[in-house]
Amino acid sequence: MTKRAVVLISGGLDSCTTAFIAKKEGYEIYALSFLYGQRHNKEIECAKKVASKVNAKKHIVFDLDLSQFGGSSLLEDSLEIPEANALEDIGKEIPSTYVPARNTVFLSIALAFAETVDADAIFIGATATDYSGYPDCRPEYIEAFQKMTDLATRKGVEGRSIEIMAPLLHMTKSMIIEKGLSLGACFEKTWSCYKGSDKACGKCDSCQLRLKGFKETGQCDPISYEFYPKWYKI
């Protein structure tokens, strides 16, 4: 019997690797992405390419405008997206790019989708290592959501729980990149930058963590940047 999984694909490096892991593990993939009022839609175009590469059975781009709430520099043009001053400072405080309860909202919708298609698992690219410090990326959060899933769904009550899979949770960025490369992940089709310019900015937390990961693997990042930190030399 074919295993099915809903895979959250944002268009970024982490979700790309996660999608390729799900594919490698033999799941039939139902991809789910979100237009949530973010500053740009470039990542959605990348998500479509990744979903195609993993032969997703279906790809839904869910329109959910969280910008009506605001509360994040990813949602409000009036708030400046911070630039990372030093790599060692990333993740020490919750940054303005944190979108309130985003993973809880996304996973809840993924859960409804999963029950509808009788999926066995939901894959999310959350990581608690080399990350910006978002509270909804921590292991205890994933564990708590799993408990909620078991209680809140028909499948859970019937003893056929939908498993919340976060295969990158304890991986560093370099480990994620190495895993993705080993699976043939299409990193050249991904977008991690918080800004939507023609080239990635190279200065935001997400860009810096991505570049750090590629540097540590000794591989060149296949996408272009407007700015490269002095420490990034391959």
pLDDT of residue 128: 86
Asked if 164 contacts 111 with a C-beta cutoff of 8 angstroms, the reply is no
Name the percent of the chain lying above pLDDT 90.
73
Q: Which CATH architecture has domain 3-217?
A: 3-Layer(aba) Sandwich (3.40)
pTM over 0.75: yes
**For range 192-204, the mean pLDDT:** 92
The answer to which of 31-45, 85-99, 154-168, 179-193 has the lowest mean pLDDT is: 85-99
pLDDT interval class at 151 (50, 70, 90): very high
pLDDT interval class at 130 (50, 70, 90): low
Between CA 123 and CA 132 the distance in angstroms is 20
Look at residue 132 and tell me whether its pLDDT is greater than 70: no
Where do the domains of the chain lie? Answer: 3-217
**For range 141-162, the mean pLDDT:** 94
Q: Cβ neighbours of residue 72 under 8 Å, at least 6 residues apart?
A: 66, 79, 96, 97, 98, 99, 100
Between CA 66 and CA 24 the distance in angstroms is 33
